[in-house]
Each structure stands twice: as C-alpha cells, then as structure tokens.
Amino acid sequence: MQQLSQEPDPAFDLAVIGSGPGGYEAALRAAKAGMKVCLIEKGALGGVCINWGCIPTKALLRSAEVFDLVKKADYFGLKVQPGTIDLAESVKRSRNVALKMSKGVAFMLRRAGVDVRQGEAVFSSPHDLDIFRDGVRVERVTASHIIIASGGHARTLPGLEPDGNRIITSREALALKSVPTSMIVVGGGAIGVEMAWFYAMAGTAVTLVEMMPRLLPFEDEEIAEVLKRSLQKAGITVATGAKLEQVAVAGDRVNALLVAEGTDSRALSADYLLVAVGVSGNCSGLGLEHAGVESSRGFIVTDSLCRTSAGHIFAIGDVRGGMLLAHKASAEAAIAVQTIAGAPSRPLDDSMIPRCVYAEPSVASIGLSEKQAEDGGCTVHVGRSMFASSGKANAYGNLEGLVKLVFSAADGRLLGAHVVGHGAVELIGELTLARHLAVTADILADTIHAHPTLSETIKEAAENALHDKASTLAKKPL
C-alpha cells in the first residue's frame, strides 16, 4: 500500500526537477525574483556535474597535471624522488571536492528559501508532481510552472553496452581504486579525451578510438590535429576513422577488433573499455505523457525560450539537447525564469557559448571554425600566434599549441576563436567577451595586455590577422 504524506499538498509558483547547474541556478533565480520555489532531487545536490562530472573530473585532472609536473622536475631544476600516483587518494580528494561543492549548493538553496524535496519526480498531471522514494510515492507537489532540469546519462552503442565492471562509463572511471595497466577509450569528444589523458598520465597504456575522421569532430581541424599530436606524444595511441568490432569480456580482460578504413584490422585487449560516445537526456520515467510534454530522439522538445509543448513547463540543460555543457544549462535557467516572470528574455545563441576540453594541453573555443565560416559564405582573415614564441609559455615550460582567431573580412568582427595549449580554458573568457561584443582585430590588437602573460598571444594573433588582411589587400589588382 502506498504511503502518502498526511500534510496538505503544497502549492508553489515554480517546481524544479533536478539540482544540477541548470536546476539550482533556476531555483535560486526564481527565489530571488520572489517566487515560492520547490526543488526536487533524487540524488546528491549539484547533480551529475558537481558529483560525477565537471568537478570531480577536473579534480582528478589536476592530480594528473601535478604528477606530470613532478616527473619533469629535473627540467625545472628540482631534485625529487620519482613516485607513483595513488589513484585511491586522488579519487578520495576528488570526492571531497565534489562533496564540498554539493554542500555549497545546499547552503545557497537554504539561504534563498528554496524548499528542497528529496526523491524522484514524476508527472501525474500537467501541474502535479508525485515524489517517490525507494519506489514508494510519499508526497505530491503542485506548481504553477515547472522546469525540467533532469540532466542526461551516458549514451551507449550496440555491442558496447557498459556492464559496470570491465566495460565502463566515465562515472565508474572516476572511482577506480587502482591504476589499470591498459584501457581502451571509445569516443574522441571532451569526455573521452580527458579520461584518456588522465589515465595515460597515471601510467595506463591507453588506446583512444574515434569513429569520425578526427578528434573533437566539431572543433577546428587545425586545433584538433595539434591536440592529436600532443596526445600521441604523451604515449596515447590515437585511432581516428575507426571503430571496434567483436567486443567481448573474457575474465578480467576486454577484447576487441580495431577496424579502420585503409588499414588492416588488429586485435586489442585491455583491462577496461571506457565508453564515452555522448549523452542522452533523462526523459524516461518522468511521466511526460501525463503533462503533454513532447520528446524526440532522447531529448525534450522546446522552443527558443526553453518552453516545452506544455506552455507552463520548461526544459533546460542536457535533457533539452544541443550543446551538453553546464554553463549552457545555467544560461538556459536564466532564460526560462525570466520568461516565467514575464521579463524580457532572448534566445540562446550557440555561437556565443564557449567550449572547453580540460586535458593538457587544454582546448577552448567559441564561435565558428575557419571551415565553418567559409562554408557559410564568409570571406575571412585568420590570425595565429604560437605559444612557443610566448615568454610566459617558455617560463612555464609549456610550448605546445596556438591561438587561432577567425575574423570576417567584410566588417572585421570576430567570428571564432580557438585555443589549444596550457591555460587555454582560462583564456577563452576574454575571447568570449570579444565575440559577444563583436570586437574586431583592430580592437584586440590595440588592447594592452600585461607582460609576460599567456593572454598576450591573443593580441599577437589579432596582429597576425591584420597582417593577413593587409597582405590580401596588397595582392588585389588596382
């Protein structure tokens, strides 16, 4: 028999399903706007990002970065004893960082007066959400508006279904107790690259397999090629335009056949196979059919303001699809709450969203690649500046990579910015602002940058683009 709360059904202005970056941001913004807000979370506050994604991943990557620096101590004039990475302690540190951030979310929600309910939310009608704990319905929440921020889960491919033991996702990879001898990583996107680099730095023999012709298939080709060379230099075997066949677990090994066009297939065997081939939205189990909310291809269908087919219900973050990024979810939270409050809001422009990969060297970009701009009919001027010529990069001992800027030849505005190198993810902020303000190469070149800094490379790339522009004009017949 179902156990129901004896308290009367509460009524809220807004109920939010999920407490990830989009969910808790929406709840905080709505509470600040004077709404009575309920947030429903079935797991730890902060969602996958804080607990099993962005934050613990970056904590582990930092451990790998420090470990790699220690191995290069002689280069910096330091005499230290060679060591090994203690994966269990690194994982423990990452879990502590995640726990601290989760507690921070709980504190902010409590201070804002958001009513947090623990459990799994399921629509029973367009305005009613039943909350289940351990499969038992314990209460019902009624709200005038609802924001679905239920996040996503790792996508699988036929024949590569994770078993949580030898065929794993990034979630299991974040909690291994010891460094494996070998690992196959399927997927050359951000998650696959980051996990491949981390385990390679820890001492694992890593093979990275990507079905598309290059790593980071949606990024600038030149940047992706620099990253590939760097990963290979770090000891990672990179196979692009390739796939796995005949995958089978045999005892404590995973065996597979690597098949790539134009080359002979070869057998692979590893301790683990990590599947990182994308994310699908958490749509199932929400009872969307009871609310009149449509979904398609694993994601909830919305308009440009995050509104679903039910006008009072919104969807944000990974469950909405598009770029699967925490900061995109936060931006969508602002759009949804502003729309609910009746305030002016603008649709999200994907070309204004920065994208980052946190390996070493890191990759960061915004806007159009050179090819995307040209395919869109734009004539462009391209500026490049290599970190090898940067005084700060030389002082750091990180010489790989470059800044590549793509400007419109018609009006000079920045169309796209692409960085690969140490600190790239920290440099993208200036370039995101430049893209947002339609800054030109002249403005970036005229902006005084502190010396010595890595950011000087942005100024130098802009100057290089102006040189490219001048050279093009000089070649034109009078």
| Structure tokens that stand for 195 in this block | 């996990």
| Residues 288, 468: Cα–Cα separation, whole Å | 54
Q: Contact at 8 Å (CB) between 19 and 115?
A: no
Which residues lie closer than 8 Å to 457 by C-beta, 6 or more apart? Answer: 385, 386, 387, 390, 393, 402, 403, 427
Cα distances (angstroms) measured from residue 116 to each of 36, 101, 112, 287, 294: 12, 17, 11, 21, 26
| Residues 77, 79: Cα–Cα separation, whole Å | 7
Backbone angles phi, psi at 118, to 5 degrees: -90, 130
Which residues lie closer than 8 Å to 281 by C-beta, 6 or more apart? Answer: 150, 151, 152, 295, 298, 299, 300, 318, 319, 320, 321
| Residues 105, 114: Cα–Cα separation, whole Å | 11
Residue 181: other Cβ atoms inside 10 A:
11
Cα distances (angstroms) measured from residue 441 to each of 217, 292, 299, 389: 27, 49, 39, 20
| Residues 102, 90: Cα–Cα separation, whole Å | 18
| Residues 48, 99: Cα–Cα separation, whole Å | 12
| Structure tokens that stand for 296 in this block | 């398609």
Closest to 86 (Cα-Cα) out of 234, 203, 168, 236: 203
Q: Looking at the DSSP assignment, which residues form a beta bridge with residue 356?
A: 364
Amino acid at 26: A
**Is the peptide bond prior to 162 cis by the omega test (within 30 degrees of 0)?**
no
Q: Catalogue the active-site residues.
A: 451
